[in-house]
């Protein structure tokens, strides 16, 4: 039997407390009114370096410019770049060039002043502030949402892996079943938290899902959105929340009965519980692949309700599947290091590492397939998804590929490295952080846009859910022996050697 | 100079494994073992050095990746940077997603083919090569261990008879 080390327990409590403080700080610091936003933007203008100064000037120094910019989004990029260019040219090249570019800017400014009246200017400025206000108000909520869904889906990745091992009658993994069951014990907790979060969206406590906004389906409302209205047969709150409840219930039921049968099999005289587990695992996998796909549309893709992608479900699956396997590996290594998993040898670890490696590549394959197809065809309706990400999330967007593909492929390709604990812990940490960033990239651009930052609320939420995860998982690990007794494959698994 | 060897023939891979371990323990140098199929763990028992073909394949893959990158960069960007359907051909990175399928396939192609060729070269295999089979039964159901004799013929013969060999032959090699 495993005993929860008091150090780890304290550590998980500290994570939760610090995390709650971070989340609370995020909520308290979110602006309440457009006046607050104006102050924040002004402060940013003061503190910003050369990079920030140029757009700020484009927006504020020339009012006409700014109004036009707010009215037409593509114009922002263009105008800003002209000003930025003018500045950089000023710094480096001869003054002849500077006057030329300055002339261009000077030419453009009066042209727009003719078009835009004072009143329109003010309205556009207010609309811009309103837009930024919503993004900043979304920030702490999004921070919580990213971590909440990341840890929930990470346990689902583990559960899917576990079910596959059962159905495939894998001879190597039964010694790890209790570890996997320990990880999936976070599922009920995570499900409740996520459900509360989704219901809060329906109650308009947060505005992460634009299609839940008021008046979007009403043709008389100023918020009317024809595209969303056309999708409201699918994207409406009751149907959406019922789907969420059905999926979470289905997953939790499988997890509950699978664990129960596994424990009952320990005390049984025949293999009937094992067979039951085999059957429910097969049924679960069918249910899972359908529900997972729909889940990814409901909980992640619907944050961008104007955008769609057919392989999105697979892509999300690959992301949390590899996170789940990595978590199994990390927790196995921890327990092994503490001397609790007598029958786990380096061959088991090696197999897990191979899965980490393979599924990392699989994730990259899907990431790239989705990106390449949309980039190549460049259909405006679809491509905005990547335009916003590359423009405003350049480092996280490509950094995720480096962390989830380049790093693991170079580290885990070596057979010897796949057996070395510290290499795996390092690779696993990078993979898990990489997939957190992956979820960050999927969620944040839709909710906070270019106002993103990985600061107190984001790290706080990550710490809170990590602490909760550690507490729940390791508490469950103490509840049952770490070695299943009467699994038909347990002997083979104990002597597994690769 | 006479070049005598012993052919100890077995009809079971477990017996063979035991015999190999005993021979190693007795410090007789095993020249070669012939088996009709791969015997798991035989290389470890014989103390053979692990293969480095995977390292070769990795390097070949890098060569292929470089070749693919060079090819697309030269053809599509440097030599004749046309506007084909609005794809940006100003620099390699701008149009890179379109080149990734080529880069990937070149990597796999080079890694796979050069690795196979390396295997053939190192194993000395080619279409008209004369088969080096000491006993035709070793391709069907018998296992053969070849050990060189250094003035200890009688000792070795009795040693191999004690390891469960179904047949122990002393052969003079001419090569």
Burial profile A327-347: b = 16 or more Cβ within 10 angstroms, e = fewer: bbbbbbbbbbeeebbebbbee
Residue among B54, B86, B97 whose CB faces A371 most closely: B97
Does the pLDDT at position B152 exceed 90?
no
ipTM: 0.91
Q: Does A379 touch chain B (CB under 8 A)?
A: no
Residues 6+ apart with CB under 8 A from B138: B9, B34, B35, B36, B144
Cβ neighbours of A390 in B, within 8 Å:
none
Read off the pLDDT of residues A245-278 as tens digits, 9 standing for 90 and up. Answer: 999 999 999 999 999 999 999 999 999 999 999 9
Q: Which residue has the higher pLDDT, A18 or B175?
A: A18
Residues 6+ apart with CB under 8 A from A347: A172, A496, A497, A498
Q: Does B38 touch chain A (CB under 8 A)?
A: no
Read off the pLDDT of residues A101-126 as tens digits, 9 standing for 90 and up. Answer: 444 444 555 555 555 678 888 888 88
Cβ neighbours of A413 in B, within 8 Å:
58
Does the pLDDT at position A200 exceed 80?
yes
Q: Does B85 touch chain A (CB under 8 A)?
A: no
Specify whether the CB–CB gap between A67 and A125 falls below 8 A.
yes
Model pTM score: 0.86
CA distance A1 to A341: 10
Nearest CA in chain B to A371: B97
Q: Does A413 touch chain B (CB under 8 A)?
A: yes
Spacing of C-alpha A372 from chain mean position: 21
> ∠ CA A329-A353-A163 to the nearest 5 degrees?
65
Span between the terminal Cα atoms of chain A, in Å: 27
Nearest CA in chain B to A370: B97
Q: What phi, psi does B32 have (nearest 5°)?
A: -165, 155
Residue among B54, B58, B97 whose CB faces A375 most closely: B97
Cβ neighbours of B100 in A, within 8 Å:
368, 372
Does the pLDDT at position A84 exceed 80?
no
So what's the pLDDT on residue A87?
A: 43
Does the pLDDT at position A80 exceed 70?
no
Question: How many other CB atoms are found less than 10 A from the CB of residue A50?
Answer: 10
Residue among B54, B58, B97 whose CB faces A376 most closely: B97
Does the pLDDT at position B166 exceed 70?
yes
Does the pLDDT at position A79 exceed 50?
no
Cβ neighbours of A378 in B, within 8 Å:
86
Among A62, A63, A42, which Cα is nearest to A52's?
A42
Q: Does A415 touch chain B (CB under 8 A)?
A: yes
Spacing of C-alpha B1 from chain mean position: 32
Q: Which two tokens stand for residue B147?
A: 């050990």
Spacing of C-alpha A221 from chain mean position: 32
Report the half-sphere exposure of B37 (CA within 13 A, side-chain side).
7
Q: Do B97 and A378 touch (CB under 8 A)?
A: no
Residue among A376, A413, A415 whose CB faces B98 most closely: A376
CA distance B43 to chain A (A): 14
CA distance A80 to A8: 51
Spacing of C-alpha A368 from chain mean position: 17
Q: Which two tokens stand for residue A301?
A: 């893709």
Nearest CA in chain A to B41: A498
């Amino acid at each position: 039997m495993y005993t929860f080390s008091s150090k780890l327990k304290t550590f998980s409590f500290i994570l939760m407390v610090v995390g709650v403080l971070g989340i609370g700080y995020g909520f308290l610091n979110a602006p309440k009114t457009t006046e607050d936003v104006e102050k924040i933007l002004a402060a940013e203008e003061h503190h910003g370096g050369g990079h920030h100064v140029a757009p700020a000037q484009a927006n504020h120094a020339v009012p006409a410019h700014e109004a036009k910019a707010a009215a037409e989004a593509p114009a922002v990029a263009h105008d800003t770049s002209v000003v930025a260019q003018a500045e950089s040219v000023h710094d480096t090249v001869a003054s002849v060039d500077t006057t030329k570019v300055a002339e261009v800017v000077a030419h453009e400014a009066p042209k727009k002043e003719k078009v835009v009246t004072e009143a329109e200017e003010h309205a556009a400025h207010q609309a811009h502030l309103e837009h930024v206000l919503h993004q900043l108000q979304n920030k702490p909520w999004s921070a919580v949402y990213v971590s909440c869904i990341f840890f929930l889906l990470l346990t689902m990745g583990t559960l899917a892996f576990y079910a596959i091992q059962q159905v495939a009658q894998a001879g190597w993994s039964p010694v790890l079943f209790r570890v996997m069951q320990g990880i999936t014990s976070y599922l009920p907790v995570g499900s409740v938290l996520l459900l509360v979060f989704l219901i809060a969206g329906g109650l308009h406590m947060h505005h992460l899902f634009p299609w839940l906004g008021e008046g979007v389906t009403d043709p008389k409302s100023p918020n009317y959105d024809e595209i969303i209205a056309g999708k409201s047969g699918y994207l409406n709150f009751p149907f959406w929340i019922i789907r969420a409840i059905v999926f979470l219930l289905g997953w939790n039921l499988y997890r509950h009965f699978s664990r129960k049968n596994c424990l009952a099999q320990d005390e049984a005289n025949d293999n009937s519980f094992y067979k039951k587990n085999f059957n429910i695992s097969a049924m679960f996998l069918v249910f899972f692949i359908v529900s997972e796909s729909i889940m990814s549309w409901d909980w992640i893709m619907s944050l961008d309700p104007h955008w769609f992608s057919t392989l999105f479900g697979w892509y999300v699956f690959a992301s949390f599947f590899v996170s789940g396997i990595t978590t199994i590996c990390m927790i196995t290594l921890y327990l092994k290091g503490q001397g609790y998993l007598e029958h786990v040898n380096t061959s088991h670890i090696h197999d897990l590492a191979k899965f980490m490696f393979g599924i990392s590549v699989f994730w990259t394959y899907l990431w790239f397939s989705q990106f390449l197809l949309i980039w190549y065809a460049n259909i405006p309706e679809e491509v905005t998804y990547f335009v916003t990400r590359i423009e405003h999330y350049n480092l996280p967007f490509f950094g995720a590929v480096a962390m989830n593909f380049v790093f693991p492929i170079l580290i885990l390709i070596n057979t010897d490295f796949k057996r070395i604990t510290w290499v795996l812990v390092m690779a696993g940490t990078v993979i898990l952080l990489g997939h957190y960033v992956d979820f960050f990239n999927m969620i944040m651009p839709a909710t906070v846009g270019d106002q993103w930052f990985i600061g107190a609320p984001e790290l706080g939420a990550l710490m809170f859910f990590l602490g909760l995860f550690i507490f729940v998982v390791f508490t469950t690990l103490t509840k049952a022996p770490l070695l299943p007794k009467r699994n038909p494959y347990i002997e083979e698994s104990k002597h597994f050697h690769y | 100079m006479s070049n005598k060897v012993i052919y100890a023939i077995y009809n079971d891979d477990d017996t063979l494994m035991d015999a190999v371990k005993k021979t190693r323990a007795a410090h007789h140098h095993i020249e070669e073992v012939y088996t009709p199929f791969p015997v798991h763990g035989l290389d470890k028992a014989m103390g053979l050095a692990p293969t480095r073909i995977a390292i070769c394949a990795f390097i070949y893959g890098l060569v292929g990746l470089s070749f693919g990158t060079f090819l697309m960069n030269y053809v599509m960007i440097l030599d004749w940077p046309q506007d084909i359907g609005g794809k940006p051909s100003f620099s390699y990175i701008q149009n890179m997603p379109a080149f990734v399928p080529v880069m990937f396939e070149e990597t796999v192609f080079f890694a796979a083919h050069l690795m196979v060729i390396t295997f053939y070269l190192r194993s000395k295999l080619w279409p008209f090569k004369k088969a080096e089979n000491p006993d035709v039964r070793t391709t069907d159901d018998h296992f053969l261990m070849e050990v060189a004799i250094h003035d200890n013929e009688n000792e070795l013969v009795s040693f191999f008879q004690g390891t469960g060999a179904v047949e122990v032959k002393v052969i003079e090699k001419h090569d």
